[in-house]
Each structure stands twice: as structure tokens, then as C-alpha cells.
Amino acid sequence: MLNPPSWVFGPVWTVLYVLMGIALYFVWSRQTGGKRRTRWLMLFMVQLGLNTAWSIIFFGEKQLFAALFVLGALWLAITALIILGRKLHAQVVYLLLPYLLWVSFAGYLNYSIWQLN
């Protein structure tokens, strides 16, 4: 199992949250977009909730299998953000793609840890 050292997680999440914040700013500050913009903003809040829920379920509750389902929902939410966001602001794709890749890697880690236990 490929497991990065624990010191990597803090800087990676810091960068990812900065990128998410920039993407949020680009969509939030946009004067057009109507319903698509509103849906994107709501979905952004949903993915933040899923992100938080995964941390609680995985680290706090140590429910590794349940965490996989939450992570799958998070992955789908980020993918939807990218698809919806590209029509609102082209940079959203590039800002959220590292987040999607990191969550994909987290899925690999979550699954591997679940299998080992």
C-alpha cells in the first residue's frame, strides 16, 4: 500500500482548500449564471459537508467501510462541480482537478486500510 508520510497531509489540504476557495470566489463573484450558478454554490456546500462527514466517519468513528460510501459521494459531488463549473468559469476545472485527484487517492487509501482491517 502506498501511504505518504503524515506530514504531507497538512500542506496538501491547505493547498486544496486555497484552490477550492479561489474556485468558489470565481463562481460567487460572477454576475451571470442564474440557476446553474445557484446549483453550483449549493453543491459546493454539499461537498464541504461530505468532506467533513468523511473525516468524522473515517477518523472519529473509524467506520472504514461507511467512509468509502461517503468518499464515493464526495467524488461524485466534486465531479459535478467540475462539470457545472466549467460553464461558469473555465478556471474552475483546473482549480478543482487536484482536489478530485487527491480524493481519488484518499479512496485508494481508505479501501486499502479497510481491506487490511
Range of the domain at 24: 6-116
Asked if residue 37 belongs to a domain, the reply is yes
Asked if residue 52 belongs to a domain, the reply is yes
At 73-113, the pLDDT tens digits run: 999 999 999 999 999 999 999 999 999 999 999 999 999 99
Asked if residue 19 belongs to a domain, the reply is yes
Asked if residue 33 belongs to a domain, the reply is yes
Asked if residue 57 belongs to a domain, the reply is yes
Residue 62 zone, left/alpha/beta (φ > 0; ψ -120 to 50; rest): left
Asked if residue 1 belongs to a domain, the reply is no
Please give the tally of structural domains in the chain: 1
pTM as predicted: 0.94
Q: In the prediction, which pLDDT does 31 show?
A: 83
Report the CATH number that the domain containing residue 57 is assigned in CATH: 1.20.1260.100
